[in-house]
Amino acid sequence: MKVKENINNIHDKSYKDIFSNREEFYEFLRDFVDGNIAKEINPDSLMLIDKSFVLPDYAELESDLIYNGKIGEDEVIIYVLLEFQSSVDYRMAIRLFFYMAEIWRDVIKNTPKLEYEKKEFKLPAILPVVIYNGKEKWTATKTLGEQINKKELLKDYVIDFRYPIIEVNNFRKEALYETQTLVSAFFALDQNMDWAEFLTRLIEITQIYKDLSEEKKNILKHWLKVTVDTKEYKEIKETIEVLFEEEEVLKMTSNLTKILDKEFEEREIKGEIKAKEEDALNFLKLGVSEEIVAKGTGLSLKRVLELKGKLN
């Protein structure tokens, strides 16, 4: 059963909304990318840059965001690519290299010529990060060097870098809950799961993340409203509206429990039908007539004939 709407631009925007908050972005950098780098960066220096470097070929599949920050007096750039394709792109390191080159070109373009021509001029370091929420495990190379022939022989002369890949579906929900940040709640609800697990997490998050600020609670509620497929159960919409409201928690939990019960009941029914279909297939393989198989299993003759067609 579908949990989240399959609309990339909404999904991208929802991530951009949360990371446009400097505090949330810093917590993401600290908890999921590199805590040591986060310690060195001045959180107050972080500034979201209103530009995108995504190639036209990928405009419908991904988006990016760029933060400028300071380590001491030196500028650094954190480039985050939101990769929401269903499959792994084995050209990722090459694509990131192109994006990074364009960022540096943009830096030079906007640097006064006299300053750019100085001996001490240096380009800002770029930290490329990929957030990936696909079902498949990320198996693409994580360094540019691995995609360059004869890199071992020419290692002193070729460009190389490594990028961290944040695989949303790889985190255990318990580990995510430990940080109790908005980003971790976001990741916990964005993993691949069925309705039953999603509703269970919604109840858990209501309790575990109750100390989030009102602003952050509203950001999470807004994300749920625009990304969750609420056509299946109207109770989901009602639940999102009152999420985190203490006086409504019991009512909300009751609503979600009813949905869970219905979901488990449907699973049991589906399980029974599957078992009957397996029996029917076994009887058909033995040469038992379709009519007798239908009567014996309780399946319709039409369904038995469909199953027999799969054997041929």
| Tens of pLDDT, residues 171-205 | 999 999 998 899 999 999 989 887 778 877 887 88
Give the neighbor-by-neighbor strand order of the sheet with 165-167.
47-49, 62-71, 74-83, 125-132, 165-167
User: Does the structure show a pLDDT above 60 at 13?
Assistant: yes
- Average pLDDT (274-301) is 77
**The pair of three-digit structure tokens given for residue 82, joined into one six-digit string:** 């939101």
**The pair of three-digit structure tokens given for residue 176, joined into one six-digit string:** 């995510």
- Average pLDDT (38-64) is 83
- Of the chain, the percentage scoring pLDDT greater than 70 comes to 81
Q: Are 272 and 252 in contact (CB under 8 A)?
A: no
- Average pLDDT (275-294) is 77
Q: Are 166 and 129 in contact (CB under 8 A)?
A: yes
Q: Are 139 and 88 in contact (CB under 8 A)?
A: yes
Report d(CA 285, CA 283) in Å as an integer.
5
Domain map (residue ranges) of the chain: 8-242, 246-311
User: Does the structure show a pLDDT above 70 at 125?
Assistant: yes
Residue of higher predicted confidence among 75 and 85: 75
- Of the chain, the percentage scoring pLDDT greater than 90 comes to 40
Report d(CA 94, CA 92) in Å as an integer.
5
Residue 250 pLDDT: 57
User: Does the structure show a pLDDT above 70 at 208?
Assistant: yes
Please tell me whether residue 74 adopts helix, strand or coil conformation.
Answer: strand
- Average pLDDT (80-98) is 88
Q: Are 185 and 220 in contact (CB under 8 A)?
A: yes
User: Does the structure show a pLDDT above 50 at 7?
Assistant: no
User: Does the structure show a pLDDT above 50 at 227?
Assistant: yes
Beta-ladder partners of 130: 81, 165
- Average pLDDT (226-251) is 68
pTM of the prediction? 0.75
Report d(CA 124, CA 271) in Å as an integer.
58
